[in-house]
Structure 1
Amino acid sequence: AEMGTARVWGEMGRWTIIVLIQLAKAILRLLLLLWYKAGIQMSPPIVPLNRETQQPDQTYVGRRSSRVVRSLQSTPSLQSRHWGSPQQREESQPKSEEMNQPPTPLGLQETIAESIYITRPLLHLLSLGVWGQRSWKPWLLSAVLDISSLSLLSDLKDLNRRERAELRRRTILLLYYLLRSPFYDRYSEGRILLLLRLLADYVPGVGFITRPLMDYLPAWQKIYFYNWG
């Protein structure tokens, strides 16, 4: 939608569709949070279907190797597929009941924290419109909102498995600030390109990966790290 709008209506249309999409996402997420009490919202929001819980496990044991092979009918979904034996899968995979636990009720502080996280993309877009894409203020504002949200949610106890994984994911995503302008333009770009160049020059075989990555990195950073949605 963004690329098509930019081609037809230019930059103004491009940013308009970005704001509309982020506004729609924020409204729906706030509706889930405040009206339906959905708690901490996950990414992805829906647990991938585990077909093994829907049908009996059908396996075949090889006569010579005694290797256990799963039949095609009971092959798990792509998201939950693995290369181990069926017995290993049953030991390593969490129980479906644990993955489908109801959301942890949020108090006022936690609701405010989740609301901050949901509305952060809109506030970031607004700050870009006010101060421009080269200003440090949108970068700092978004960082403060992210850290504040995680800090307010850190006091929440008795989280289920998916909620703990979501908070870990959000914490790891803070590293993306190193790849976002203007921090990337001033500090990260030169160091990242230098590291990739050293790997390409001195580590045999790595250049096949790092050299195309060096060529693509500027376009990749420009496409994926201006919106932060």
Structure 2
Amino acid sequence: MGTARVWGEMGRWTIIVLIQLAKAILRLLLLLWYKAGIQTSPPIVPLNREQQQPLHPQGNSSGKDQTYVGRRSSRVVRSLQSTPSLQSRHWGSPQQREETQSRRSEEMNQPPTPLGLQETIAESVYITRPLLHCILPWLREGTCCTPLSLLSDLKDLNRRERAELRRRTILLLYYLLRSPFYDRYSEGRILFLLRLLADYVPGLGFVTRPLMDYLPAWQKIYFYNWG
């Protein structure tokens, strides 16, 4: 926005192209040189500080058992000597907490799925889609659908990669609200569907009519932030 005010639209789009070019080069370097596979978003999983709390309270080296197993119920109960502080306390048994952390650690440390030539090309096209859109806006839908259809044929994806493909699939719905596709095709059909639901489905009018009034303003804000 600052560049647009100083240098106008030409300067604004120049900065956008330079930023997207730098991002695409770095991601292609990860894909082709370091064999990073399907790149997730965000590339680094945010640190969950609650999961990083120590399983054992500091200074607890007395050697006593952390849990007690009931003789009749076989229920695992934490002993009072091993109760952690309130900030790091959790309501599961230490065994469950340790199993959960070890499982998540294994998922995070799984190597990326090797990509063949076809999948590598598809991921490269997906990485360079912002640049293609800056040059030819109407290519964006194709540059998103084609790589997704090719990558969906991969088997034995790890959990993060499957989540990333699901995220990309959901993001395809947002293209219906992006101009110029929204102005020429989506707007009339979406408003017609909302009006149809408001007129013929009892009770939905309280939701769909305010949505119809708010949708144009929301689309303008969304398209402005996206562009």
* TM-score where L is the length of structure 2: 0.64
After superposing on structure 2, the runs of 4+ consecutive aligned residues of structure 1 that deviate more than 6 Å are 57-93, 197-212, 226-229
Following TM superposition, by how much is the alpha carbon of 1:212 offset from its aligned partner in structure 2, in angstroms? 7.1
Q: 1:106 to 1:5 in 2, by over 3 A?
A: same
What SS class does the counterpart of residue 131 from structure 2 fall into? helix
Residues 131-171 of structure 1: CA distance to partner in whole angstroms, max 9, x if unpaired?
A: xxxxxxx325542xxxx211221222111001001011111
Question: Contact 2:199–2:205 (CA<8 Å) still a contact in 1?
Answer: yes
Counterpart CA distance in 2 for 1:78 and 1:209 is 43
1:127 aligned residue: none
Following TM superposition, by how much is the alpha carbon of 1:76 offset from its aligned partner in structure 2, in angstroms? 15
Question: Contact 2:37–2:115 (CA<8 Å) still a contact in 1?
Answer: yes
Question: Contact 1:52–1:74 (CA<8 Å) still a contact in 2?
Answer: no
Residues 79-120 of structure 1: CA distance to partner in whole angstroms, max 9, x if unpaired?
A: 999999999998999x23213422112121111111010011
Say which is worse superposed, 68-77 or 210-219, in terms of deviation.
Answer: 68-77
Q: 1:158 to 1:180 in 2, by over 3 A?
A: same
Residues 38-94 of structure 1: CA distance to partner in whole angstroms, max 9, x if unpaired?
A: 110111111121234432x9999999999999999999999999999999998999x
Question: Contact 2:132–2:139 (CA<8 Å) still a contact in 1?
Answer: no
Following TM superposition, by how much is the alpha carbon of 1:27 offset from its aligned partner in structure 2, in angstroms? 0.9
Q: 1:39 to 1:70 in 2, by over 3 A?
A: farther
Name stretches of at least 5 consecutive residues in structure 2 with no aligned partner.
Answer: 54-64
Report % sequence identity: 94
* TM-score where L is the length of structure 1: 0.64
Counterpart CA distance in 1 for 2:163 and 2:43 is 12
RMSD: 5.9
Q: 1:4 to 1:226 in 2, by over 3 A?
A: closer
Which is greater in Rg? 2
Q: 1:86 to 1:206 in 2, by over 3 A?
A: farther
